[in-house]
Amino acid sequence: MHYPNQFARIGVSDEAALQKLNDTFETIFFDPEENFYHQLEDGTACMVDTGNIDARTEGMSYGMMMAVQMNRQDIFDRLWAFAVKYMLHTSGHYEGYFAWSVQLDGKHNFEGPAPDGEEYFAMALFMADARWGSREGVYDYAAQGRTILRHCVHQHEMVPDGQPMWDPENHYIRFVPETRWTDPSYHLPHFYALFADHADPCDRAFWQEASRASRAFIASSAHPVTGMSAEYTEYDGTTRLMFRKPFEYYSDAYRVALNIALDTLWNGRDEGTAKVVTNLQNFFAPIAQADFKAYMLDGTAVEEPAMHPVAMTAVFAAASIASDSPHADEWLRRFWNEPLRKGKRRYYDNCLYFFALLMLSGQYKPWGRM
């Protein structure tokens, strides 16, 4: 599993790229002022959403993925122990799912799950099994990953009043299990291709089809000129405005470019998704980071500043893996020269920053690929 250092395109050595990756990891987890990794007295740990002062399945599963990619089993196990102890439902119609937001002492803010957490949990667990080997109980990583996916696909068969996280008919991931719409940034075809290798044998065909369906959905639901994807959409790809946000391209949606980049890195080029990130890089190239806004998909800027401008620069740089834009190397330079975000909103920006840096440095690997 060798992947190139994309920064070499702008004259950055492999050693410098790896050093920046290691320094970024150290900042996120251990810097006295800027980390957002929080250890509890019971030996567990959580990733803190610094903008909301809670722990979310999004961040917990991101932290686990960071840990397995950086070969830190100690961090991985503390995060997973927190998720199992404080977030996992063991009864009721959410049995097998994880409460998406809890306080730092584990008290639930919300009971319902968010499917992007479950899919990252499962992938991180399968990778942990491949890299370190499974142990017993909750540290039987492979068994835990299969259990999560079993609930995700079969909850309606396993639990009274339960709802699956993936639609049984079109294989799309739902925004939450009870809805019949989706979030384009939740679609991870590169993960589903690996799920097909590691899930229960009866579900492997399901995951193969989910990978194909999600890749096609990403391409078809993005704007044909700007490349922007909506935060939330109907199954047909039309925008669904939610949470009183009168705009379409905003925080969740930034991850679509990141997902396309990683899918391309692991599985090769797809013309439909390559066009999406090419259009994104072209549209945003003339715009300074300080001027990033919320947008309608056609490129109309809304007088709402982007909440996560550093994340936008990071994902547009990651897009250089798949893009045909003449601005691809420019985005690599912009990102290379961009420091981690500081302050209250650093959590989301710096998570996406780390993942972009991980793949661009050639270090984001599909552990467990068969």
> Rounded to whole angstroms, how far apart are CA atoms 352 and 328?
18
> 59, 70 in Cβ contact below 8 A?
no
Residue 370 has pLDDT above 80, yes or no: no
pLDDT at 150: 98
Residue 243 has pLDDT above 80, yes or no: yes
Considering the candidates 54, 58, 129, 270, report the single residue annotated as catalytic. 58
Q: Is 43 helix (H, G, I), strand (E, B) or coil?
A: coil
Residue 23: pLDDT band by 50, 70, 90 thresholds?
Answer: very high
What is the chain's mean pLDDT, rounded? 98
Considering the candidates 119, 252, 270, 349, report the single residue annotated as catalytic. 252
Residue 237: pLDDT band by 50, 70, 90 thresholds?
Answer: very high
Burial class (CB in 10 A: 0-12, 13-18, 19+), 20: middle
252 catalytically annotated:
yes
> Rounded to whole angstroms, how far apart are CA atoms 281 and 284?
5
pLDDT digits 0-9 by tens, 270-286: 999 999 999 999 999 99
> Rounded to whole angstroms, how far apart are CA atoms 50 and 93?
30
Residue carrying structure tokens 């990619």? 69
> Domains along the chain?
1-35+222-364 (1.50.10.10), 36-221 (1.50.10.10)
116 catalytically annotated:
no
pLDDT digits 0-9 by tens, 50-107: 999 999 999 999 999 999 999 999 999 999 999 999 999 999 999 999 999 999 999 9
Burial class (CB in 10 A: 0-12, 13-18, 19+), 200: middle
Residue 230 has pLDDT above 90, yes or no: yes
